[in-house]
Amino acid sequence: MVSVDLGAGAGRPGGGLLVAGTTSDAGKSVVTAGICRWLARRGVRVAPFKAQNMSLNSYVTRDGAEIGRAQAMQAAAAGVEPSALMNPVLLKPGGDRTSQVVLMGRAVGEMSARGYFGRRSGAGPVRYGRREELLETVAGCLEELRSTHDAVICEGAGSPAEINLRHSDIVNMGLARACRLPVVVVGDIDRGGVFASLFGTTALLAEEDQELLAGYLVNKFRGDVSLLEPGLEMLRQLTGRPTLGVLPFRHGLGIDEEDGLRLSLRGGPGAGGGERAEGGAGEPYGAEVLRIAVLPVPLMSNFTDVDALAAEPGVLVRFTDRPQELADADLVVVPGTRGTVRALAWLRERGLAAALARRAAEGRPVLGICGGYQLLGERIEDDVESRAGLVDGLGLLPVRVRFAPEKTLARPAGRALGEDVEGYEIHHGVAEVLGGEPFMTDAAGAALDGCRAGAVRGTHWHGSLESDGFRRAFLRTVAAETGRAFVPAPGTCFAALREAQLETLGDLIEEHADTAALLRLIEEGAPKGLPFVGPGAP
């Protein structure tokens, strides 16, 4: 073990490292989490950081700030409480061209991509001042974290070689250059072309940016590493930079990643349907399995809500947009969405609304979460999100929803089905419950959130299914309502499963990366004299 002085306690800011990637979904999030866990095991006070995140999977911190779920997961890996400092800018897409901008944990408005990133003309970039203002904010957050931690591990976004966006970059090389961060680039070998991706990423960076790019990590490798080594040596000769690790492929490590990138693995619309038990949950504890269908609604948010269901032995979770596949499901989940009215139209166009109505009439379970809960109601008044005004809901719950300009951000706790339950709320819609039974209550039985009518239930509480006792009680209820001989396993602890995943990420770094080199980069920065690889940025 190499001893390196990573000490904010030494009277100076802590060290830092930026984990960039050749593409989206190269593995930046999990590599960052793995480095955080490995450092935390060494007793290093480490924090994660992502300057700008584009994701519909978000989380609420204890002080009521909204950040990306990936940064909350990385904070757990580091053993620290998540905060808005770790993700100062969050962009939540609301369509093909607009996003809600969340700054320091609070929504500040909608903006088009052109308005946010600026535009280019033949004379070069047209600057609006926004990039400079945001870079000052994110750099300040990073420095505040470095003043209280021994090390900060930063995650980039997309690719650092997006040459059309370099002038507005605050999350990749723009941040690295502003804060003098050494950079390691992750390449996903499972996609193929990893050498071309790593070389091409380097060669499209400006000389000043290349001075900070110190090495590479190859991710998701399957097979004999010795067969890869000649290529790694040739890459070093071509770029003057070493590969600091070859991380083997591991199943079940896609935890709290961004948006719908994992849906093809789960049988989402991109994969033509299908069924897959997540997390290797194993054989059912009782006599039968429980089949759960999740509707991949447009602008789906926090689809991680169903991860806890998939972790149960004997529970099979699938994403499907086919009405006929709802017929044999024991439970249908309508997840959250950033476009409730748009999701309603989508359900109706595909015949899914009619399929849900049939389920409700037959007394078969349906669960709506956040936006999914809202669209199960009687009507929606939306002058905020879609600006569609009054819209009829599916009418499966006696609930009316009005969208408020201010977003509700909360970390509620209560009781449901005789068990303690916790969650977090992120929504503009305010529900008026006109009948049925409350779903979430306080200890005295007073309504806190949600509604139940027959076998249809809805709640605004994301993450509620991570409460083990409540999840088991809910699955027992679903089994009883469908006549399934399913019994939830008594010992499944979702928090322990997540912790085991984070430990595995730490193991991957400790066992398969050049940890001595990583420590030197974090402490000392990029080495001097790294060669320039042409042609460089245009």
Angle at alpha carbon of residue 71, lines to 69 and 76, rounded to 5°:
95
CA 113 to chain centre: 21
Beta-carbon count within 10 A of 262 CB? 18
DSSP conformation letters of 274-296: --B-GGG--S-SSSS-EEEEE--
- Cis bond upstream, residue 531 (ω within 30): no
Catalytic residue among 428, 460, 462, 512: 462
Task: Give Rg (Cα) of the chain.
Answer: 24
What distance in Å separates the CA atoms of residue 169 and residue 146, rounded to the nearest whole number? 21
Provide the whole-model pTM.
Answer: 0.91
Which three-class secondary structure state does DSSP give residue 222? coil
d(CA 330, CA 485): 12
- The rounded distance, in Å, linking the Cα atoms of 427 and 178 is 35
Active site residue 462: yes
- The pLDDT assigned to 465 comes to 98
Intra-chain end-to-end CA distance of the chain, in Å: 42
Could you say which DSSP state residue 149 is in? Answer: S
Q: Can you tell me the distance from the alpha carbon of 296 to that of 304, in angstroms, rounded to the nearest whole number?
A: 12
Is 308 within 8 Å of 275 (Cβ atoms)? no
Rounded distance, CA 200 to CA 109, Å?
Answer: 36
Q: Measure the CA–CA gap between 90 and 134, rounded to whole angstroms.
A: 12
Q: Which of 179, 370, 451, 512 is catalytic?
A: 370
SS (H, E, C) 230-271: HHHHHHHHHHCCCEEEEEECCCCCCCCCCCCCCCCCCCCHHH
Handedness of CA 126, 129, 130, 132 (dihedral sign): positive
Per-residue confidence (pLDDT) for residue 114, from 0 to 100: 66
Tokens encoding 465:
């299914």
pLDDT digits (tens, 9 = 90+) for 325-380: 999 999 999 999 999 999 999 999 999 999 999 999 999 999 999 999 999 999 99
- pLDDT at residue 98 in the model: 85
- Digit-coded pLDDT (tens) for 7-38: 443 345 689 999 999 999 999 999 999 999 99
The per-residue pLDDT for 112 is 76
Q: What is the pLDDT along the chain (538 residues), one digit of tens a residue?
A: 334 445 443 345 689 999 999 999 999 999 999 999 999 999 999 999 999 999 999 999 999 999 999 999 999 999 999 999 999 999 999 876 789 999 999 999 888 766 665 544 344 443 434 778 889 999 999 999 999 999 999 999 999 999 999 999 999 999 999 999 999 999 999 999 999 999 999 999 999 999 999 999 999 999 999 999 999 999 999 999 999 999 999 877 666 665 443 443 333 332 223 333 343 367 888 899 999 999 999 999 999 999 999 999 999 999 999 999 999 999 999 999 999 999 999 999 999 999 999 999 999 999 999 999 999 999 999 999 899 999 999 999 999 999 999 999 999 999 999 999 999 999 999 999 999 999 999 999 999 999 999 999 999 999 999 999 999 999 999 999 999 999 999 989 999 999 999 999 999 999 999 999 999 999 999 999 999 999 998 8
Q: How many CB atoms lie within 10 A of CB 104?
A: 18
Per the CB < 8 A criterion, the answer to whether 289 and 56 are in contact is no
Cα 89 to its chain centre, rounded Å, is: 14
Mind spelling out the 3-state secondary structure of 328-376?
CCCEEEECEECCHHHHHHHHHHCCHHHHHHHHHHCCCCEEEECHHHHHC
Predicted local confidence at residue 257, as pLDDT: 61
Length of the chain: 538
Domains of the chain: 19-253+499-523 (3.40.50.300), 282-491 (3.40.50.880)
Q: Alpha-carbon distance 294 to 221, whole Å?
A: 31
Cβ atoms 451, 437 nearer than 8 A: yes
Q: Is 427 a catalytic residue?
A: no
